[in-house]
Amino acid sequence: MRISFRAVFWFLVRLVVGSALVIGGFVVAFQDAFIFVGAGFPDPLKPQDIRERKPEQIPPHVTPYWIKTADGETLEAWHYVPEGELRPEFALLFHGNASQVESEYGYQRWFGSLGIQSVSFSYRGYGRSTGYPSEAGVYRDVDAVWAFVQSNLGVRADNAIAYGVSLGTGPASYFAKTYRPKALILLAAFSSIDQVVSERRGYSLLKPFLWTHFPVAENISEFRSCVIAAHGERDEIIRYSHLADIRKAQSGNPDFHMISSPTAMHNDLFDIIRPELKKILLECLESSLANSTHAE
């Protein structure tokens, strides 16, 4: 039996194209699993009460809360109040894609060292929060947490600081666009998920099929309060070039501050830039306070 070269050629073409379509379809269909890598799949059989923590699982100075979203999910949030004199500001923390509320405790302690109380929370599907994340779902989480913070903790937008890390810069930028806080801090931010995907070898063709975007640069393009954006030049997950996109989006903001670290990678950025971040943030807050006092 003779097999022609042409038949073999077209068989291989069909095999390659078919495999690409199957792999591409899988990636498109499960893109949220790639973006929200730290989330667990929803388990409707899991009893709600096992999500509750024992008292010894709550760190010092933390009050835990369970917050209901408009679409019926339940989010775990931690309110951290440091000892000593408090500043008027209040920080709202947005975690990365492999983190959850516990991961933000170190950042909460850092804000606490500045006399700033804070709230961190797990997005839906992360940690003990119910559901499974999506861009629209995470935005609903932000809305629910902010409504709770306003009504139960008495926080106003003009005293709020939005602090986002990596994936958290997506919801943090949404918060800035929607609620206009006093300050916005973006660590290892991306300009958009679309841009991240277009830069990944073998993934750029999937860009037209994305339904998760988190357009950070677009969200902050008209935000004119204090913005601090920091990025490591050795970041191996989100390219350093995204910092230039953030700076461009903030080109008309005189209160934009950029921190660039030549040695920082993605996960050690905060530890390296911490002293500079503290200095710039406090200068921002004092300047804002002086301006508001003068206006009165």
With a CB cutoff of 8 Å and minimum separation 6, the contacts of 60 are: none
Q: Where are the alpha helices (DSSP H) in 202-261?
A: 216-219, 241-249
Query: In whole angstroms, what is the distance from residue 36 CA to residue 123 CA?
Result: 10
Residues 30 and 120 placed together within one structural domain of the fold: no
CATH of the domain at 259: 3.40.50.1820
With a CB cutoff of 8 Å and minimum separation 6, the contacts of 84 are: 115
Neighbouring C-beta atoms of residue 245, cutoff 10 Å: 18
Identify the pLDDT of residue 44: 53
Name the residue with higher pLDDT: 205 or 105. Answer: 105
Question: What's the whole-number average pLDDT of the chain?
Answer: 87
Mean pLDDT (whole number) for 68-83: 96
Kindly report, residue by residue over 25-48, the tens digit of the pLDDT: 445 546 777 788 888 755 554 545
Q: Give the residue numbers spanning the domain of 6.
A: 1-35
Structure tokens at 98: 């492999």
Structure tokens at 235: 């970041």
Identify the pLDDT of residue 203: 65
pLDDT band for position 21 (50/70/90)?
Answer: very low
Q: What are the CA-CA distances from residue 23 to residues 87, 134, 207, 280 (Å)?
A: 52, 21, 14, 46
pLDDT band for position 179 (50/70/90)?
Answer: very high
Query: Which among 193, 195, 225, 198 has a CA at the least distance from the CA of 211?
Result: 193
Residues 115 and 246 placed together within one structural domain of the fold: yes
Query: In percent, how much of the chain has pLDDT > 90?
Result: 72
Residue 235 lies in a domain: yes
Tell if the pTM clears 0.85, that is, is over it.
Answer: yes
Kindly report, residue by residue over 146-170, the tens digit of the pLDDT: 999 999 999 999 999 999 999 999 9
Residues 21 and 164 placed together within one structural domain of the fold: no
Identify the pLDDT of residue 38: 84
Residue 62 lies in a domain: yes
Query: In whole angstroms, what is the distance from residue 65 CA to residue 149 CA?
Result: 11
Residues 162 and 262 placed together within one structural domain of the fold: yes
Identify the pLDDT of residue 292: 53
Identify the pLDDT of residue 40: 74
Query: In whole angstroms, what is the distance from residue 122 CA to residue 168 CA?
Result: 11
176 pLDDT higher than 60: yes
Query: In whole angstroms, what is the distance from residue 77 CA to residue 163 CA?
Result: 15
Residue 72 lies in a domain: yes
14 pLDDT higher than 70: no
Strand boundaries in the chain, DSSP class E: 62-68, 74-80, 90-94, 117-121, 160-165, 183-187, 226-232, 256-261
183 pLDDT higher than 80: yes
